[in-house]
Each structure stands twice: as C-alpha cells, then as structure tokens.
C-alpha cells in the first residue's frame, strides 16, 4: 500500500501521456500494481520498485497498443478511406462503397456482435461506455468485438464482404 500511495499518481501520469485516454491510463495503472503485487507474491525480489512499475506499465501499454491495432485496423482503414477527401473521385467512391459493404455485412451478424460493432465503430464509443450501456462487463464487450471482427474477416476471406 505504501508503494501504491507513493507511485500511483506518477505511474498514472506516465500512462496517460502514452495513451491519451484517461480510462485506459487508469486501467493500465491499476493493472501495473496488480501485476507487481503478483510478482512479489511469487517470492521474487525487486531491487527498484519504481523502475519495475514503470517497466510493467510500459509493457502493458505496448500490449494494449498491439491489441487495438489488430482489432481496429480493418474497419478504421475502410472508414478512413471513405472519410478522407481525395482528388480521385473513383477511389473515394470505391472507399465509400466498401464502407457501405461493411455496414451491410455487420447487419448480417448476430445481434450481440452487430450492436457492439456499431456502437464501437460507427458511434465511436469506448468499451467501458458500451459495457455500461449494455449492462455487461468490459471483458464481455471486448470479446464480442473481437469475435464480430473475426466473423467479418471470415466473410472477407469467403469473398462475401468484398
């Protein structure tokens, strides 16, 4: 508890500066202390607790970044292509058509996937807010988003989507 009181605001500011997302920074800060506590409970010794906490936080930030890239890259790429103004009207039209195909494909998904994907990508809601709205845990919402995206990828591979 002493280490928490001493370093929590410092670790939070570090996480916030790296993520630019207050909720995510809070989650990573909390998880950093939990992982450190678990490490200590396994009879491991830490020479510099402050440095260890920073390293754990940084690793969690990197993991989160990788996870987000995988989840969002396909839909964001299509959305960015559709929203970006380009001189080539054919490319712009193609991007808009592809975005519309994705919207139509999402409509064919089971309701539990359709609703979370629509809220996340078309309403740009954070996972925590979606979880509160749907009265589900954040983990359940994250899993549904992942599975919904996987179903969209499968549609793309079977050439249903594109």
The predicted-structure confidence for 115-151, as pLDDT tens digits, reads as follows: 888 888 777 788 888 888 888 888 888 888 888 888 8
Owner of token pair 């954040």 = 138
Band of the pLDDT at 28, cuts 50, 70, 90? very high
Nearest to 128 by CA among 44, 48, 25, 13: 25
The model's pTM is 0.45
SS3 percent helix, strand, coil of the chain, rounded to 5, is 80, 0, 20
Residue 108 has φ and ψ, to the nearest 5°, of -85, -10
What pLDDT was estimated at residue 22?
Answer: 87
Q: Which residue has the tokens 């409509």?
A: 107
| Domains in the chain: boundaries | 2-66, 84-157
CATH architecture for residues 84-157: Orthogonal Bundle (1.10)
Asked: is 2-66 a CATH 3.30.9 domain? The reply is: no
Alpha-carbon distance 58 to 62, whole Å?
6
User: pLDDT tens digits for 42-80?
Assistant: 878 888 889 999 999 999 988 887 776 655 555 655 555
* Predicted local distance difference test score (pLDDT) of residue 74: 56
Six token digits for residue 35: 């992982």
């Amino acid at each position: 508890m002493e280490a928490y009181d001493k370093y929590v605001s410092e670790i939070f500011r570090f996480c916030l500066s790296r993520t630019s997302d207050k909720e995510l920074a809070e989650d990573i800060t909390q998880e950093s202390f939990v992982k450190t506590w678990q490490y200590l409970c396994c009879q491991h010794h830490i020479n510099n607790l402050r440095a260890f906490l920073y390293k754990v936080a940084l690793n969690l930030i990197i993991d989160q970044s990788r996870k987000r890239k995988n989840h969002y890259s396909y839909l964001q790429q299509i959305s960015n292509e559709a929203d970006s103004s380009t001189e080539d009207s054919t490319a712009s039209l193609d991007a808009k058509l592809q975005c519309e195909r994705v919207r139509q494909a999402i409509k064919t998904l089971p309701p539990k996937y359709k609703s979370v994907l629509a809220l996340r990508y078309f309403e740009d809601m954070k996972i925590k807010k979606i979880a509160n709205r749907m009265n589900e845990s954040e983990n359940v919402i994250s899993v549904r988003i992942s599975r919904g995206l996987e179903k969209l990828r499968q549609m793309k591979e079977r050439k249903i989507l594109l």
